[in-house]
Amino acid sequence: MLPLICLDVDGTLVGSAGEPSEALWRSAEAARGRGQRLTLCTARLAAGPTRGWAERLDPDGWHVFHTGAVRWHPVTGEVRTEALTVGEVELCAEAGERNGWVVETYTWDDYAVEVDHPLAVAHAGLLDMPFRMRHRSDLEGEIVRMQFVVPIEDCDRALTVPLPGLDASAATSPVMPDAAFVSITRAGVSKASGVAAVAHDLGVDMADVMMVGDGHNDLPAIETVGWGVAMSNAAPELHKAARLVVADVDDDGAAEAIDRSAGLI
């Protein structure tokens, strides 16, 4: 039995229905009953239903948000962050605006967007949060991540914009198949670093960790843990890197991964 299971959200926990299935919740409850820990590992912010999903997945566990830039513990309320500098935030904003992309600015549990582009409005709907335009200066707290929301055909270009000292990673969602979400974090911050930090806190060897995902930003963690799992709907590079492949997100592949973890060592 593997002691720690980490799960991506979009394309893994959440498919075209826009929320986790009851089969997923049953598998998660059974895993907790066996003494396993579950960690949500997402590029999303810790707000709206996503935060509730993390708490339901494992009320007494650490959860990773913002592609590794934030870890949150529901019971203690502790938040650990990897913040961007003011200069890094401005660099990202200028790059996004120069290319005509939607630019989103994030604290650990809030975000700002300054345009009412259809992609920005649709993304708020995906997050199940009210859409409102406001300047990033209205946010309170540390900025932990910037994001370009771009047409899917612009994804590769957004990933390669020169941003010294920063890392870019991409995610997609079955709910918005024509868009890509390109996260910008501090160099070295990724889902892999977030998972490693959670494993360290729990005293779990990375060889005994499972990571389940489908997208570009899941690849570092899938390559780092002992049990990388790709969804059937995952990008080809994840299938190549993964130790296991499970069913499509809409066929409860994440629940399958959790169930199979009980028999792995």
Q: Among 165, 186, 207, give the residue marking a domain's end.
A: 186
**Host domain of residue 116:** 86-186
Show which of 186, 220, 238 is a domain's final residue: 186
CATH number at 33 reads 3.40.50.1000
- pLDDT tens sequence across 89-101: 999 999 999 999 9
**Pairwise CA distance, residues 101 & 192, whole Å:** 27
For the stretch 177-225, pLDDT in tens is: 999 999 999 999 999 999 999 999 999 999 999 999 999 999 999 999 9
Regarding whether 27 and 109 lie in a shared domain, the answer is no
Q: What is the rounded average pLDDT of the residues 30-42?
A: 98
Number of domains in the chain: 2
CATH number of the domain residue 128 falls in: 3.30.1240.10
Query: What's the pLDDT tens digit per position in 88-147?
Result: 999 999 999 999 999 999 999 999 999 999 999 999 999 999 999 999 999 999 999 999
Q: Would you state the torsion angle of the CA atoms of residues 227, 25, 175, 139, taken in this order, to the nearest 10 degrees?
A: -90
Report whether 176 contacts 23 (CB < 8 A). no
Residue 265 has pLDDT above 90, yes or no: no
